[in-house]
C-alpha cells in the first residue's frame, strides 16, 4: 500500500507526528494549498481499481540500491518528468524503541534535529526555507523520517545538510527546554480531540506491555522529565549511517548522485547499535494469541465519559506483522467491510442512519499489527447497539464468506490506490524507504501486490475467523457529557473590546541563513517553471474546459468549479449549497446511489463535490483508461440528479452531526467567531449553518437551488493526465454539450467592509479542551488586487513558514509558546482576509498574542529588509516550481487561474511577477495591511488564564 495513504488513513492506529503538523482551517476554501495541506490531500487513501495490464510493469523497476561501507543504505530512482528531486533520510527508530519512562523521546529528538549543528548553529527550517525546499519530518512507531523536495540543482545541498545533522546536531539544554514546551503544546492539541483520547485508552489496554500501546508523541508527564542527556543518548545510539536509509528520487543521473552521497555520507562513522528493552520484545505467531488475551476485562468496554460532541466507538484486534502471509487477505477483508458506499459496515451503519461515519484500517508493523474500526454515532444512538451490529456483520462474513464481486472490487481498489498514491516523487521515495525500513525489502510493494492478487474468498473468510474474535479485541466507548453553554460574542458591536498596548520586539535576523547554506549551482539565477500552456475550449453552452496532457503516469486528475457556493445561501437556510453538493451523487434519473458508487469504485475513480464560499469544488482522479467513466458520472450527477428523499434526509442527519462536532472543535469555533467578527450580517461570509437552518431546508429548496445555480456557463473543468486531447474534447462534447441553461445567471453583491476602529477580543470557552486556538487578523485584499504578489512576499517573511518566518522564529522557536503559527492572505474573487493562526496553552495565550502583535507593529512601522525580501522571493519561486510537479497541485492551479480570470500564461508568469517585487512594494503593503490595533483576536478552547502574559 502507498505509505502516504497508509499514514493518513491510519492517523490514529498508526499515528505519526509531523513536526509542522498544525491543521490550518483556512477561511478561503480555495486559496493556494499550503505545503502540508498538499501532503494531507494526496495521502488520503482511495481504494481504487486497476487492470492487470496497468500493473504488469513493476513500480520500482528502475530503482538502484547500494550499501556504503559504513552501513548506510542508499536507494535511488530516476524520474525525469519534472526538474525536481526529493531527498529523504529515514532512521530505524520510532516509539517502538523507547524505554519505560521516556515515552515520546523519539518524537522529541525529531524536533531537536532542526535546532542546528556544530558547523551550522542555525534553525534548519530556515535553511530549508532558503533553499525553497518542501521539507518536513515525522515520527511513527517503527521509524523517524526527514524529507525535502527541491529543484534539481539544489540536490547536493540537501544531501550535505542531511549528512551534517546525522552526526553533528546540537542538542542544547536551553533549546530543549523551549522545544519541550512546543511538543507539549502539540500533544495537548491532539488531546482536544475525543477520538484521539479514546484511541489512546484502547491501545494502552490491548497492548499494555509493548510500546505500540503508547502514544507515538509521548505524554506530557514523560516529556516534562526529559533531560538533555537522555535525548543525546538516543541521538548517539540511533542516528548513524548503519541505522538509516537514504532515499533519493527525481531528475538526476544516478552515478553522479551516488558519488556525491559517498563523499558526504561515506565519511560518517559506523557505530555499534545499542538495543533498548523494547527491541528485545518479539511477537511470534504463538505469542500473538497470548498478547490478545492479557486483559482480564476484555468483554467490558472502556468507557470515557467526558465533555464532547458525538458518541464514538473504537474496537481494536491484534494482528500479525507486515510480512505475515495473511496480511494481503486482511487488507482485502478490511476493504470489503469498511470502504465505500457498497461496503458492509457502511450499509449496515451509515445507510441505516445509525452512524454518521465508519472507517476501518489494518496497521501492519515490524513487531505485529492490529485492525481498528471506528464509528461516529448518529445522535441518540446507543453505542452498545452499534457494537452488536459490527459483531454481527463480522460474524456473518466469517461464517458465510464473501462474494466473488466483493473480492474482485476490493483487490482492484487496493491495487489502484498504489498507483494513485505514488504519482509524485515524494510519495515514491516514501514508499521505497518505508518498505525498506519495515520489511527490509524496498521492492516489497511489488511482492505484496502479487500476493494480494492471489487472495481468495476462502482466505478472507479464514482470516476473519482467525483474527476477528470477540475475546481478542478491546472496545472503547466515548460518551459525551452535557457541555455548558459556550461564551462567545455574536457581532462586532456586542463583543468584549479591549484597548491594549505592547512592547515592540526585535526583528529576527534572517540574513545569516545564507552563509550556512551549502554551495548551490547558479544560486543567483532564479529558475523558471516549464512553459505549461493548457489547451482551452468553450462549448456552445458556455462550459469552459482546460486540458493538459501528461504521460508520466497512467492516471488522470480532474478539478472543476461551479459558481454555486454558500454565498448564495439565505440566512434562514444556511447550509443549502452544501446540502445540494453533498447529494449530487445520491441518485440520478438512471442510477441510484449504490449504482453510482459501484461504477466509480469498480473502476478506480474518485469523485467528490464540496461546496465552499464562492463555488463548488469538484475533485476527481482515476486511471487513464477510466476517464470516460469519470466524466460520464460527473455529467450525470450535474445534469440529472433527483435528490431522493431517503438519501437527502440521511445527508441532513449527517450534516447535523457534523455541525455538533464542529462546534466542539476549538479551531472551527474560532474560525466562525473570527469570520463573523470581521464581516457583518449583511455580508455573504457571515452566514454559517445552524441546526435551525439545516432543518428548515426542504427537498424543493434543494431542487430549486440546483436548477438556478448549476449552469454550464458557470462551470470550469480542468483535466491533467495521460489522454488524447482530441478524444477528450469529443467525449466532453458528447457528455456536456446538451446541458442547457435558462435565464440570466444569478449574481450576488459583496458589500464594502471596514476594519474595526480598535482591537476586538472574542473568547469562546469549550469544556474538556486543553489547548487554545487563536485566530488573529482583518479584512484584506482579493485575488485581483495588484498588491497580491507583494502580499505573498510579505506573508512569507511574516508567517509563511512556522520555522523560518519572523512569527515562527520568535513565538515558536525562541519563546516556545506554540506548536505551530502561520499567517496567510486568503484571497478570493470578491473578498480577502488576513489571518494568523496558532495553538497554545491557555496560560500562554495572552503572551503569544502580545508577541504576535508586537511583530505586526514592528513590520508595520519599520518594514522588512532587502535580504528578507530576496530570501522570501527565492523561497516562493522554488516552492512554486516544486508544486507544479504534483499533478493535483498543477491541476488546481490551472483551474483557479481560470476562475480568477487570468489567462493561461499566469501558470508560467507567476514566478516572474514574484521576482519583480521590490522592497518598497513589500513595505508599502506592510503599512497598508498590517495594523495590530485594528484587528480581531479570537481564542477558543479552555478559558484563558488571567494574569499570565496579560496584555496591558
Residue with cell 542516528: 239
As a whole number, mean pLDDT of residues 674-695 equals: 96
pLDDT band at 609 (very low <50, low <70, confident <90, very high): very high
First and final C-alpha spacing in the chain? 54
Q: What pLDDT, on the 0 to 100 scale, is given for residue 287? A: 53
Rounded to whole angstroms, the Cα distance separating 458 from 488 reads 57
Three-state SS at 360: strand
As a whole number, mean pLDDT of residues 343-357 equals: 96
Rounded to whole angstroms, the Cα distance separating 844 from 831 reads 32
As a whole number, mean pLDDT of residues 243-256 equals: 97
pLDDT band at 44 (very low <50, low <70, confident <90, very high): very low
Please say if the pLDDT value at position 274 is more than 90: no
Rounded to whole angstroms, the Cα distance separating 154 from 909 reads 22
Rounded to whole angstroms, the Cα distance separating 797 from 691 reads 41
φ, ψ of residue 795 to 5 degrees: the values are -65, -40
Does the CA dihedral 213-216-219-222 come out positive or negative?
A: positive
Q: Output the average pLDDT for the chain.
A: 87
Lowest mean pLDDT among 49-58, 217-226, 449-458, 513-522: 49-58
Rounded to whole angstroms, the Cα distance separating 239 from 169 reads 10
> To the nearest 5 percent, what fractions of the chain are helix, strand and coil?
45, 15, 40
Grid coordinates representing 327 are 496480511
Burial classification of residue 37, based on how many CB atoms lie within 10 Å of its CB (0-12 exposed, 13-18 middle, 19 or more buried): middle
pLDDT band at 13 (very low <50, low <70, confident <90, very high): very low
Which residues are bridge partners to 773 per DSSP? 839, 940
Where is 720: in which H helix or E strand? Answer: strand 715-721
| 795, 825 Cβ separation under 8 angstroms | yes
Please say if the pLDDT value at position 285 is more than 50: no
Rounded to whole angstroms, the Cα distance separating 220 from 500 reads 33
As a whole number, mean pLDDT of residues 856-866 equals: 97
As a whole number, mean pLDDT of residues 409-422 equals: 89
Please say if the pLDDT value at position 502 is more than 80: no
Rounded to whole angstroms, the Cα distance separating 129 from 126 reads 5
CA dihedral 38, 878, 533, 824 (to 10 degrees): 50
pLDDT band at 157 (very low <50, low <70, confident <90, very high): very high
Give the pairing type, strands 535-538 and 606-611. Answer: unpaired
Rounded to whole angstroms, the Cα distance separating 106 from 304 reads 28
Where is 78: in which H helix or E strand? Answer: strand 73-78
Please say if the pLDDT value at position 12 is more than 80: no
pLDDT band at 951 (very low <50, low <70, confident <90, very high): very low
Rounded to whole angstroms, the Cα distance separating 442 from 727 reads 38
pLDDT band at 605 (very low <50, low <70, confident <90, very high): confident
As a whole number, mean pLDDT of residues 901-918 equals: 94
Grid coordinates representing 207 are 497492548
865: left (phi over 0), alpha (psi -120 to 50) or beta: beta
Q: What pLDDT, on the 0 to 100 scale, is given for residue 667? A: 95
Q: What pLDDT, on the 0 to 100 scale, is given for residue 529? A: 61
Q: Which of 340, 288, 337, 345 is nearest to 317 (CA)?
A: 288
Q: What pLDDT, on the 0 to 100 scale, is given for residue 757? A: 93
Q: Which of 514, 555, 265 is nearest to 422 (CA)?
A: 555
Q: What pLDDT, on the 0 to 100 scale, is given for residue 523? A: 44
Q: What pLDDT, on the 0 to 100 scale, is given for residue 852? A: 97
| pTM of the complete model | 0.89
Q: What pLDDT, on the 0 to 100 scale, is given for residue 276? A: 54
Please say if the pLDDT value at position 619 is more than 60: yes
Q: What pLDDT, on the 0 to 100 scale, is given for residue 533? A: 87
Please say if the pLDDT value at position 685 is more than 80: yes
| 316, 443 Cβ separation under 8 angstroms | no
How large is the angle between the packed helices 593-602 and 404-420, nearest 10 degrees? 60
Please say if the pLDDT value at position 521 is more than 50: yes
Please say if the pLDDT value at position 38 is more than 90: no
Please say if the pLDDT value at position 807 is more than 90: yes
φ, ψ of residue 42 to 5 degrees: the values are -85, -10
Instruction: Give strand ranges (E) for 195-243.
Output: none
Lowest mean pLDDT among 38-52, 301-315, 733-747: 38-52
Q: How many CB atoms lie within 10 A of CB 788?
A: 18
Instruction: Return the percentage of the chain with pLDDT > 70, whole number.
Output: 86
As a whole number, mean pLDDT of residues 781-795 equals: 97
Q: What pLDDT, on the 0 to 100 scale, is given for residue 291? A: 54
Q: What pLDDT, on the 0 to 100 scale, is given for residue 226? A: 97
Give the pairing type, strands 760-765 and 936-941. Answer: parallel
Please say if the pLDDT value at position 487 is more than 60: no
Burial classification of residue 225, based on how many CB atoms lie within 10 Å of its CB (0-12 exposed, 13-18 middle, 19 or more buried): exposed
Rounded to whole angstroms, the Cα distance separating 572 from 123 reads 51
Amino acid at each position: 500500500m502507498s505509505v502516504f495513504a497508509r499514514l493518513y488513513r491510519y492517523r490514529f492506529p498508526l499515528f505519526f507526528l509531523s513536526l509542522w503538523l498544525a491543521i490550518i482551517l483556512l477561511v478561503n476554501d480555495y486559496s493556494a494549498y499550503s505545503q502540508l495541506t498538499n501532503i494531507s490531500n494526496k495521502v488520503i487513501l482511495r481504494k481504487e481499481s486497476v487492470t492487470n495490464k496497468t500493473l504488469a510493469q513493476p513500480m520500482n523497476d528502475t530503482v538502484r540500491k547500494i550499501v556504503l561501507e559504513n552501513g548506510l543504505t542508499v536507494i535511488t530512482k530516476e524520474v525525469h518528468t519534472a526538474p525536481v528531486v526529493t531527498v529523504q533520510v529515514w532512521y530505524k527508530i520510532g516509539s517502538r524503541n523507547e524505554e519505560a519512562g521516556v515515552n515520546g523521546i523519539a518524537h522529541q529528538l525529531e524536533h531537536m534535529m532542526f535546532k542546528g549543528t556544530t558547523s551550522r548553529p542555525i534553525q534548519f527550517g530556515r535553511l530549508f526555507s532558503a533553499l525553497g525546499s518542501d521539507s518536513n519530518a515525522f515520527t511513527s512507531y517503527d521509524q523517524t523520517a526527514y524529507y525535502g523536495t527541491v529543484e534539481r540543482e539544489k540536490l547536493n545541498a540537501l544531501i550535505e545538510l542531511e549528512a551534517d545533522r546525522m552526526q553533528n546536531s546540537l542538542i542544547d539544554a536551553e533549546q530543549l527546554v523551549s522545544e519541550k514546551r512546543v511538543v507539549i503544546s502539540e500533544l495537548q492539541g491532539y488531546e482536544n480531540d475525543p477520538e484521539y483520547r479514546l484511541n489512546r485508552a484502547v491501545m494502552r489496554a490491548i497492548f499494555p506491555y509493548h510500546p505500540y500501546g503508547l502514544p507515538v508523541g509521548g505524554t506530557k508527564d514523560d516529556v516534562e522529565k526529559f533531560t538533555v542527556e537522555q535525548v543525546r543518548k538516543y541521538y548517539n545510539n540511533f542516528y548513524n549511517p548503519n541505522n538509516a536509509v537514504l532515499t533519493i528520487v527525481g531528475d538526476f543521473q544516478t552515478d553522479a548522485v551516488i558519488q556525491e552521497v559517498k563523499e558526504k555520507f561515506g565519511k560518517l562513522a559506523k557505530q555499534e547499535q545499542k538495543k533498548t528493552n523494547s527491541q528485545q520484545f518479539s511477537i511470534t505467531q504463538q505469542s500473538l494469541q497470548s498478547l490478545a488475551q492479557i486483559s482480564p476485562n476484555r468483554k467490558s468496554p472502556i468507557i470515557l465519559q467526558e465533555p464532547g460532541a458525538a458518541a464514538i466507538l473504537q474496537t481494536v484486534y491484534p494482528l500479525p506483522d507486515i510480512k505475515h502471509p495473511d496480511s494481503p487477505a486482511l487488507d482485502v477483508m478490511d476493504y470489503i467491510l469498511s470502504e465505500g458506499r457498497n461496503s458492509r459496515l457502511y450499509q449496515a451503519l451509515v445507510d441505516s442512519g445509525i452512524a454518521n461515519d465508519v472507517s476501518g484500517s489494518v496497521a501492519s508493523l515490524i513487531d505485529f499489527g492490529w485492525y481498528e474500526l471506528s464509528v461516529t454515532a448518529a445522535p441518540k444512538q446507543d453505542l452498545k447497539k452499534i457494537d452488536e451490529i459490527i459483531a454481527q456483520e463480522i460474524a456473518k462474513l466469517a461464517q458465510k464468506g464473501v462474494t466473488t464481486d466483493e473480492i474482485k472490487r476490493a483487490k482492484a481498489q487496493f491495487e489502484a490506490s498504489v498507483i494513485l498514491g505514488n504519482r509524485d516523487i515524494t510519495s515514491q521515495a516514501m514508499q521505497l524507504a518505508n518498505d525498506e525500513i519495515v520489511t527490509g525489502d524496498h521492492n516489497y510493494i511489488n511482492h505484496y501486490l502479487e500476493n494480494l492478487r492471489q487472495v481468495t474468498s476462502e482466505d478472507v473468510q479464514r482470516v476473519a475467523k482467525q483474527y476477528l474474535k470477540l475475546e481478542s479485541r478491546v472496545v472503547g466507548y466515548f460518551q459525551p457529557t452535557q457541555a455548558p453553554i459556550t461564551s462567545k460574542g455574536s457581532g462586532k458591536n456586542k463583543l468584549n473590546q479591549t484597548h491594549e498596548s505592547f512592547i515592540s520586539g526585535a526583528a529576527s535576523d534572517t540574513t545569516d541563513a545564507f552563509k550556512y547554506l551549502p554551495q548551490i549551482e547558479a544560486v543567483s539565477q532564479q529558475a523558471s517553471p516549464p512553459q505549461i500552456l493548457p489547451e482551452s475550449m468553450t462549448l456552445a453552452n458556455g462550459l469552459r474546459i482546460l486540458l493538459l496532457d501528461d504521460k508520466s503516469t497512467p492516471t488522470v486528475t480532474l478539478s472543476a468549479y461551479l459558481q454555486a457556493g454558500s454565498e448564495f445561501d439565505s440566512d434562514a437556510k444556511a447550509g443549502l449549497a452544501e446540502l445540494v453538493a453533498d447529494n449530487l451523487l445520491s441518485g440520478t434519473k438512471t442510477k441510484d446511489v449504490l449504482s453510482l458508487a459501484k461504477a466509480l469504485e469498480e473502476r478506480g475513480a474518485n469523485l467528490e463535490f464540496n461546496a465552499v464560499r464562492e463555488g463548488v469544488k469538484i475533485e476527481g482522479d482515476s486511471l487513464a483508461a477510466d476517464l470516460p467513466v469519470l466524466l460520464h458520472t460527473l455529467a450525470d450527477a450535474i445534469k440529472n440528479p433527483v435528490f431522493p428523499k431517503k438519501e437527502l434526509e440521511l445527508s441532513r442527519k449527517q450534516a447535523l452531526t457534523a455541525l455538533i462536532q464542529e462546534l466542539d472543535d476549538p479551531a472551527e469555533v474560532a474560525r466562525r467567531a473570527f469570520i463573523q467578527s470581521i464581516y457583518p450580517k449583511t455580508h455573504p461570509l457571515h452566514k454559517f449553518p445552524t441546526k435551525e437552518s439545516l432543518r428548515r431546508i426542504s427537498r424543493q429548496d434543494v431542487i430549486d437551488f440546483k436548477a438556478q445555480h448549476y449552469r454550464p456557463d458557470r462551470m470550469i473543468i480542468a483535466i491533467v493526465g495521460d489522454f488524447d486531447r482530441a478524444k477528450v474534447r469529443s467525449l466532453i462534447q458528447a457528455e456536456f454539450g446538451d446541458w442547457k441553461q435558462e435565464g440570466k445567471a444569478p449574481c450576488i453583491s459583496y458589500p464594502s467592509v471596514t476594519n474595526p476602529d480598535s482591537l476586538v477580543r472574542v473568547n469562546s470557552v469549550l469544556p474538556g479542551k486543553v489547548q487554545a486556538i487563536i485566530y488573529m487578523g482583518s479584512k484584506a485584499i482579493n485575488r485581483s488586487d495588484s498588491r497580491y504578489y507583494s502580499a505573498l512576499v510579505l506573508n512569507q517573511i511574516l508567517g509563511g513558514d512556522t520555522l523560518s518566518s519572523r512569527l515562527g522564529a520568535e513565538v515558536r522557536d525562541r519563546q516556545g509558546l506554540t506548536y505551530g503559527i502561520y499567517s496567510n492572505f486568503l484571497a478570493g474573487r470578491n473578498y480577502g482576509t488576513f489571518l494568523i493562526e496558532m495553538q497554545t496553552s491557555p496560560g500562554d495565550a495572552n503572551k503569544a498574542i502580545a508577541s504576535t502583535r508586537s511583530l505586526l507593529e514592528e513590520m508595520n512601522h519599520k518594514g522588512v529588509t532587502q535580504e528578507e525580501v530576496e530570501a522570501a522571493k527565492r523561497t516562493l519561486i522554488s516552492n512554486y516550481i516544486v508544486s507544479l510537479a504534483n499533478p493535483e497541485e498543477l491541476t488546481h492551479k490551472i483551474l483557479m487561474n481560470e476562475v480568477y480570470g487570468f489567462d493561461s500564461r499566469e501558470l508560467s508568469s507567476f514566478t516572474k511577477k514574484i521576482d519583480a517585487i521590490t522592497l518598497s512594494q513589500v513595505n508599502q503593503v506592510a503599512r497598508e495591511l498590517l495594523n495590530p490595533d485594528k484587528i480581531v483576536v479570537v481564542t477558543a478552547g479552555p478559558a484563558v488564564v488571567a494574569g499570565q502574559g496579560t496584555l496591558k
